């Protein structure tokens, strides 16, 4: 009888923690197919009105290079607004919206 009482308490807790485990970091490969240095890359889930922190941190993405990035926001969403800021005046800031879970890889072009 004691086993069943313990199971009645533990099973819902395990089920709840399994649901919470769905919120994972999103890993994508970003490729810079432009002729300019990409200085910063901001993302925000669709519907969030403010840009979140620069995913690059102190890094930049040189022309022709690619980088594996982790969007570690703990959310379980896939559709993100993205903002790309380039060095110099050659390319303007660019924005786009994509399902990053489905893509897994994104190439920024001029």
Residue 70 lies in a domain: yes
Domain that holds residue 93: 23-108
Q: What is the mean pLDDT of each run of 10 residues along the chain (110 residues)?
A: 50 46 76 95 92 91 95 87 88 90 90
Q: Where are the alpha helices (DSSP H) in the chain?
A: 2-20, 100-103
User: Does a structural domain hold residue 97?
Assistant: yes
Residue 60: inside a domain: yes
Note the pLDDT of residue 75: 84
Tell me, yes or no, whether 7 lies in a domain: no
What's the Rg (C-alpha) of the chain?
A: 19
Structural domains counted in the chain: 1
Q: Is residue 31 part of a domain?
A: yes
- The per-residue pLDDT for 24 is 77
* Angle, CA 19 vertex, CA 15 and CA 22 arms, to 5°: 145
Residue 110 confidence (pLDDT): 87
Is residue 53 included in any domain, yes or no?
A: yes
The CATH number of the domain where 49 resides is what?
2.60.40
Q: What is the pLDDT of residue 76?
A: 87
Q: Which positions ≥6 away from 74 have C-beta within 8 Å? A: 23, 25
Is residue 1, in this structure, part of any structural domain at all?
Answer: no
Q: Is residue 38 part of a domain?
A: yes
């Amino acid at each position: 009888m004691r086993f069943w009482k313990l199971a009645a308490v533990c099973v819902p807790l395990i089920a709840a923690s399994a649901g919470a485990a769905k919120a994972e970091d999103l890993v994508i490969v970003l490729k810079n197919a432009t002729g300019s240095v990409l200085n910063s890359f901001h993302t925000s889930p669709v519907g969030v009105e403010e840009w979140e922190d620069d995913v690059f941190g102190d890094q930049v993405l040189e022309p022709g290079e690619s980088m594996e990035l982790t969007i570690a926001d703990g959310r379980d969403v896939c559709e993100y607004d993205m903002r790309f800021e380039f060095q110099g005046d050659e390319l303007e800031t660019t924005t786009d919206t994509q399902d990053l879970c489905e893509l897994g890889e994104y190439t920024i072009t001029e």
